[in-house]
Amino acid sequence: MLTIKILGPGCANCKRLEEIARKAASDMNVTAEFAKVTDYNDILAYDVVSTPGLVINEKLVSSGRIPSPASVSAWIADAMKAP
Amino acid sequence: MDIAAFLVNAIRGGLGNLAAYLAAHVLLCLLPAFYIAGAMTALIPKESVTRFLGRNTRQAVSYPAAALAGGLLAVCSCTIVPLFAGIYKKGAGIGPAITFLFFAPAANVLALVYTGSVIGVDLALARFFLSLAFGIGIGLIMALLFRSEDAAHDAATSQMFAAQSVKGISRSALIFLLSWIALLLFGTLKLDFLTDSYLNTNLPLPGAQEFQALLDRLVPFDAGKGEEGISLQGVILILLLAAIGLASWRGFERIHEGFSAWTRAAIALIGWTLLVAALNMQSTPTGLRVGFTGKFFGVLLALAVLFQLGRAYLSDDALRDWLWESWRFVKQIFPLLVVGVFLVGVIRVLIRPEWIESLAGSNTPLGNLTGVAFGVFMYFPTLVEVPIAQMFLRLGMHRGPLLAYLMADPELSLQSILILSAVIGKLKTWTYVGWVALFSTVAGLIYGAWVDGMSLGVVVLYLALFLTLLGLALWLVNPRNNQLDAKQGQTF
């Protein structure tokens, strides 16, 4: 079970990132809980300079850009392997 | 004049203005500017600039760095506000954060390029330098006014910025960016060696002149009223633009799933259209006379370099990020610009030049205040202030009040004031608003004086005097500086 958080105030890029992350998770048959973090104070707690940010199991994997579906899949796979 | 004829006249004015804009300004200026803005957002790591904004950085570095961050990294308010909140909350303090906030909307790459090509390079330069000086000035004043709160805020924040990993821009990305800037300069600079034709061919195209005559009848052409008219080449370019729009929509919207045939088609179309826009076409009785200008060869060279870089040196990830960010800017800004330009064309029919002339026709404090007041009370979306300013200029506004308007409008709008007070509180926000209004008026007055013939030395002297006083006051009031500098001495 993964927890995937999308950091961002709700801009177009955040929505696109969420789309990609949801698709990657469902393609891999991974059950994940998605959460949107929209409050600036909460976003900044993750050490990001710019949004959108992607957090998998409380680890920041990407910020400031929309990663490709392939790399999101790779991060999800990493998170699944980690104990 | 009856109502129907009046409406038809107004709408014709709007459409004519729009057509002239799309043909004359969009291609060689806005299109490259969007791609440059996209490249800056996607290819320059934000940390490479923001790491200079930390608390341990000297003011002489952190304030210019804040302005640089504004000019390079932020183009529209959706990027500006998150970056501003980030800079402020992560320890930069209110000074550099305000400098960033002031500089970003007024003097970012898109705004400057657009101002330069539509209104004039002199006004773009004035906008840049005065925004820089006053942005830093307002930042220093805010830091001075709210220094006790700032110190408390300071203690609460981490040393986040200094700890950021140093990640510079890659060399191929830098050359890529510079090639786009070269393309922009080739395309927009009005220098003889660029506009002269070196090679001419005649295309047999009977009816070209009749078509041009028809265009002149359809689109009102009156330089005195600021109307530009449209040429045969303009029609071709508008059609190509529509094709680019369609291909981009299909090719760039889903770019995260990979490059499709539409993506390649859009890129090819953009290249060809830029080349066509750089040609010099004149309709003659027998057909169309096509001149290959210096501009054309410059654009061709830049495109060749860009193509090679994109194919061989930039990673797919970088290319995708770049195309996506550019497309996002286009989607966000271009529709607003189209509507804005149309409305400007409509309004132009309604406003009498004498009104503008009497309000802001000369460089007086009242005229400059009028410019600022108009900027504060009217809200125009990103970049639409530029065609509006051009309309005012054509209607007889003095360049001084015009600059005052151009400085105030993007800074102060109801929207930005609301967001700002959510981040830094009401008192700080209204203080900021007051200073921006004052500084914009002063900027207009100084620039207007220069336009009216005051020597450059005196203008620079005024500016330097103003900044020295400000810096001195800050130095005297803030004893913490001395300790900080002693510490900095070892690291620098």
Return the domain boundaries, chain A.
2-81
A28: which DSSP letter? Answer: T
CA distance B274 to B301: 12
At position A57, the amino acid (one-letter code) is N
Secondary structure percentages of chain A, helix, strand, coil, to 5: 40, 25, 35
CB A27 within 8 A of CB A34: no
| Yes or no, beta carbons of B164 and A49 under 8 Å apart | yes
Cβ–Cβ pairs < 8 A, chains A and B: 45
Query: Which residue is listed with tokens 């640089």?
Result: B68
Among B78, B86, B256, the residue with its CB nearest the CB of A20 is: B256
Please tell me if residue A13 touches chain B, with a CB cutoff of 8 Å. yes
Chain segment B107-152, per-residue pLDDT in tens: 877 788 888 878 888 888 888 888 888 888 888 888 887 777 766 6
| Yes or no, beta carbons of B86 and A11 under 8 Å apart | no
Reported ipTM exceeds the 0.90 cut? no
Q: What is the pLDDT of residue A61?
A: 87
What is the average pLDDT score of chain B? 78
Chain segment B45-92, per-residue pLDDT in tens: 767 767 777 666 777 788 888 888 877 766 655 567 666 776 776 666
Chain segment B401-427, per-residue pLDDT in tens: 999 888 888 777 666 677 677 777 888
Q: How far is A52 from chain B (nearest CA, A)?
A: 10
Listed range (B171-180, B311-320, B463-472) with the worst mean pLDDT:
B463-472
Considering only the top CATH level, what class is A2-81? alpha beta
- Region label for B290, one of left (φ > 0), alpha (ψ between -120 and 50) or beta (otherwise): beta
Domain limits, chain B: 3-37+171-340, 45-168+351-491
How many other β-carbons are positioned within 10 Å of the β-carbon of residue B169?
Answer: 16
Assessment of whether the complete model's pTM goes beyond 0.80: no
Residue in chain B closest to A16 (alpha carbons) equals: B256
Side-chain half-sphere exposure of B372, counting CA atoms within 13 A = 22
Q: What is the pLDDT of residue B302?
A: 93
Q: What is the pLDDT of residue B228?
A: 62
Per-residue pLDDT of chain A (83 residues; tens, 9 = 90+): 788 999 887 777 888 888 889 988 888 888 888 888 887 777 877 877 677 889 998 888 888 788 888 888 889 888 888 76
Please tell me if residue A64 touches chain B, with a CB cutoff of 8 Å. yes
Which of A20, A39, A50 best tests the B interface by mutation, with the highest count of B CBs <10 A?
A: A50
B483 has a pLDDT exceeding 50: no
Chain segment B34-55, per-residue pLDDT in tens: 888 888 778 877 677 677 776 6
Q: What is the pLDDT of residue B197?
A: 83
CB A54 within 8 A of CB A17: yes
- CA distances (Å), origin B439, targets B52, B261, B268, B435: 26, 51, 46, 6
Pairing of strands A2-7, A59-63: unpaired
Q: What is the pLDDT of residue B415?
A: 65
| CA-CA-CA-CA torsion sign (B125, B435, A9, A71) | positive
CB B290 within 8 A of CB B266: no
CA distance B155 to B439: 31
| Yes or no, beta carbons of B89 and A11 under 8 Å apart | no
- CA distances (Å), origin B333, targets B41, B164, B172, B327, B336: 15, 32, 28, 10, 5
Which of B256, B319, B331 best tests the A interface by mutation, with the highest count of A CBs <10 A?
A: B256
What residues of A are in contact with residue B45 (Cβ under 8 Å)?
64
Helices (H) and strands (E) in chain A, counts: 3, 4
Chain segment B183-238, per-residue pLDDT in tens: 888 887 777 788 788 888 888 777 777 788 887 777 766 655 555 667 888 888 88
| Yes or no, beta carbons of A41 and B82 under 8 Å apart | no
CB B173 within 8 A of CB B43: yes
CA distance B448 to B400: 4
Q: How far is A29 from chain B (nearest CA, A)?
A: 19
Which of A11, A48, A49, A60 best tests the B interface by mutation, with the highest count of B CBs <10 A?
A: A49
Query: Which residue is listed with tokens 């200008």?
Result: B293
Percent of chain B with pLDDT over 90: 4
Chain segment B366-387, per-residue pLDDT in tens: 888 888 888 877 766 667 788 8
The residues of A carrying an active-site annotation are 11, 14
What residues of A are in contact with residue B86 (Cβ under 8 Å)?
44, 48-50
Contacting residues for B302 by C-beta, under 8 A, at least 6 apart: B179, B180, B182, B183, B186
| Yes or no, beta carbons of B82 and A44 under 8 Å apart | no
Ranges of beta strands (E only) in chain A are 2-7, 32-37, 53-56, 59-63
CA distance B228 to B23: 10
CB A55 within 8 A of CB A5: yes
- CA distances (Å), origin B301, targets A35, B6, B25, B378, B406: 48, 48, 21, 42, 34
Please tell me if residue A66 touches chain B, with a CB cutoff of 8 Å. yes
- Reduced to 3 states (helix: H, G, I; strand: E, B; else coil), residue A12 is helix
Chain segment B147-174, per-residue pLDDT in tens: 777 666 655 554 444 444 556 677 888 8
Residue in chain B closest to A10 (alpha carbons) equals: B78
